[in-house]
A and B are shown apart, each in its own frame.
Chain A
Amino acid sequence: MVELDFERRLERLFADYPELPDAGSFAERVERRLDAGWTARRWLIGAAGVVGGVIGASQLMLSNVFQRVETAGDSARLLTSSLNHISTGTDWVAALSNGGTAVWVAAGLAVIMMGFVLTRVIGEI
C-alpha cells in the first residue's frame, strides 16, 4: 500500500513539469518544420505532375497521334460520304468529318478532368 502510494506520488511528480520559458519559440520551431515539410511535399507533387505531363506529351508526339487524328478525320469523312449514299446522314458523324473536332473536344475535356483530379489529390494530401 505504501509502495503504491509512493508510486502514485512519483507519477504525479513526473507529470508536473513546469512550463519552460521558451515554450512558445519551441512550438514555433516545430510549426516552421511542419510548414517546410508541407511546402516540400507540394513542390514534389507539382514537379511530379510536370514530369508526368512532359512524358505524356512526348509520348503523344512520338506515337504520331496528330497524324492519326487526321487519318481518323479522313476516315470519318469517307464514312460520312458513304452513309450519305445510304441515308441522309447524322450530325455526330458530320462533326467527326470536320477535321476531327469531336476528338479535340474530347481531348480538351480529358485534360480539364485530369487537372481537376490533380487539384483534388493535392488538396487531399
Chain B
Amino acid sequence: MPGSRHSRFASLHDVELCSHAATGERRAFGELVRRHGSAVRGVLRRMGAQSAEADDVAQDAFLTAFERVAEFRGEGTFAGWVKKIAARLYLRRLQRDRKLGLMTAEPVEDEAEAPRGDADATIDLEEALKVLGPVERLCVTMCFGAGLSHTEAAEALNLPLGTVKSHVKRGLEKLRTRLAPEHGVVLEGRRGNG
C-alpha cells in the first residue's frame, strides 16, 4: 500500500533515504522531495525566479539529484546539495534565455527602495531582498541560501571572483541596513523545514 510505504520512509534519515533512492526506490526519493521541496523552491524564488519558473527548475533539480543520488555521500545536507544543483540549473536557464548577461551588465544602484507595508509589521527576508539589484540578489542568495562558495558562484555566473565578492559585500550592506532592528525585523527567522 503506498501510504504505508510513505510512513515507513517518513521515519528514515535523509542519508538512509538516499541509499534507498540509489537502488531505484522512487518512493524513498519522494519522501526527500516532500521534506525539502519547499526549501529548494524557496531558494529559487529568492534568487528572483517567478513561482512557476521556480517550480519547474526545482523539479528538474530533483530529477537530476535522483539520477546522481549515488554521488551524494552525506557530506553536508541533502537539501544543501539539491539547492546547489537548483541554483546552477536556474543560472543555466537564465543564460539560455539571455537574461543573465543583461542582469550582470545592468549597473547596480546604490539605494533601492522596496515597497513597504505596515511599518510595525515584521519585514521578512523576501521583502529585504527586494532592496538588492538582480545580480546582487543572485550572488547573495547563491552564497548564503544555496551554500556556494564565492569561487563556485563566480564560475557559475561566469564573472570574475572580485566582481562576485563586491556584489555580495554590497548586497550584505544593503541587507544589514534593511534588516536592522529599527526596521522591526526579527532576525531569528521563521519556522520552516530548512
Residues of A with Cβ closer than 8 Å to B?
6-7, 9-20, 23-24, 26-31, 33-35, 37-38
Q: Is the CB of A16 within 8 A of B63?
A: no
- State A29–B63 Cα separation when bound (angstroms): 11
Complex CA–CA separation, A14 to B191 (angstroms): 11
A12 to B34, CA, bound (A): 21
Q: Would you call A10 and B63 a contact (CB within 8 A)?
A: no
CB–CB B141/A30 < 8 A: no
Interface contacts (Cβ under 8 Å), in number, total 92
Name A10's contact: one of B24, B175, B192 (CB within 8 Å): B175
Interface set of B (CB-CB < 8 Å, partner A): 24, 26-27, 29-30, 33-34, 37-39, 41-43, 46, 55, 58-59, 62-63, 66, 125, 141, 144-145, 172, 175-176, 179, 187-194
From A14, A26, A34, B66 is in contact (CB under 8 Å) with A34
Which residues of A are found within 8 Å of B39, using beta-carbon distances?
15, 17
Given A11-B144, A13-B125: 16 more A-B contacts, CB < 8 Å = A9-B188, A9-B189, A10-B172, A14-B144, A16-B189, A17-B194, A18-B38, A20-B38, A23-B37, A24-B34, A26-B55, A27-B30, A27-B33, A31-B29, A34-B26, A34-B66
Rounded to whole Å, the gap between the CB of A45 and the closest CB of chain B is 13
Known: A7-B144, A31-B27, A37-B63. A26 touches B33 (CB 8 A): yes
Cβ contact within 8 Å between A34 and B59: no
Chain B residue contacts of A20, Cβ below 8 A: 37-38, 41-42
List the A side residues contacting B46 at CB < 8 Å. 14
Q: What would be 14 A-B contacts, judged by CB atoms less than 8 Å apart?
A: A10-B144, A10-B172, A10-B175, A12-B187, A14-B43, A14-B46, A15-B189, A17-B194, A18-B42, A20-B37, A26-B41, A26-B58, A31-B33, A35-B26
Is there an interface contact between A23 and B38, defined as CB atoms closer than 8 Å?
Answer: yes
Residues A30 and B62 in contact, CB atoms below 8 Å apart:
yes
**Contacts A10-B175, A34-B29, A35-B26 known; A16 to B190 CB distance under 8 Å?**
yes
CB pair B172–A29 under 8 Å, yes or no, is no
Enumerate chain B residues within 8 angstroms of A13, measured Cβ to Cβ. Answer: 125, 187, 189
Per the bound structure, the CA–CA distance linking A58 and B42 in Å amounts to: 56
